[in-house]
Amino acid sequence: MKFSLGLVLLIIVLAVLVAYGGPIGHWASRVSEWCVDLVRDAPWWVFYLGMALIPIAGIPIVPFYLASGAAYGFWGSLFGVGLAIMLNLVVSYWLARWLRGPVSRLLARAGWRVPEIPPSEYVPFTILVRLTPGAPLMVQNYILGLAGAPFATYLLVSWVAEMLIASGYIITAESLYAKNWSFLFAGIGLIVFVILLTRFLRRSMKRRNLPDLQKSE
């Protein structure tokens, strides 16, 4: 799952280490400063283009959210992250549609099954996929493209959901790097909100008897 209670506990532990110093806290601060300098030294467009395209190959996108939040802050990240997510969603969708055979075989080898969805259920199914624990962004994008979700529905629902998730990581990374503890509570609060919202919406969607997105045995 992109958000979990374990992640919240990890963030709290990191905050305590950074706040109270010690060898581990000092090391964590040095590593974060090195990563931020690396991101800031690269051209702005190169970083966000990498955020858009590299996860298409299966690389997790979360480290990009964290790096963006620490390097550019919340407001400075929104535009770049929004564009990167949009480009990622568009390219992934059309790759799945144009290269249906290779993408289907790739998912099958990884153990993911593409369900058949009636047209009347595209919107709730898209929401359900975006809230599926353990499914990487690449897998979600490809399955929605292969399942035949209309492009406009896929793009709108997916972009809003992913931006909400990204915002939690961005706020958390910025607050940890700047040691802004009140802002950190806002980030943790958003993460907890998304966890609870995800559980509520998944229960609601499952009542429609939609096929769940899970790996085949």
Q: List, for residues 75-87, the tens digit of each pLDDT value.
A: 999 999 999 999 9
In a domain, 167, yes or no: yes
Q: Which residues pair with 112 in a beta bridge?
A: 215
In a domain, 57, yes or no: yes
- Structural domain including 152 reads 5-206
In a domain, 216, yes or no: no
Which residues have CB under 8 Å from 99's CB, separation 6+? Answer: none
> Is the pLDDT score of 123 beyond 60?
yes
Statement: the pTM of the whole predicted model exceeds 0.85: no
Instruction: Write down the mean pLDDT value for the chain.
Output: 81
In a domain, 217, yes or no: no
In a domain, 36, yes or no: yes
Counted domains in the chain: 1
In a domain, 214, yes or no: no
In a domain, 141, yes or no: yes
In a domain, 213, yes or no: no
Integer angstrom CA distances of residue 15 from 113, 114, 184, 185: 39, 40, 9, 10
pLDDT digits (tens, 9 = 90+) for 39-64: 888 899 999 999 999 999 989 898 89
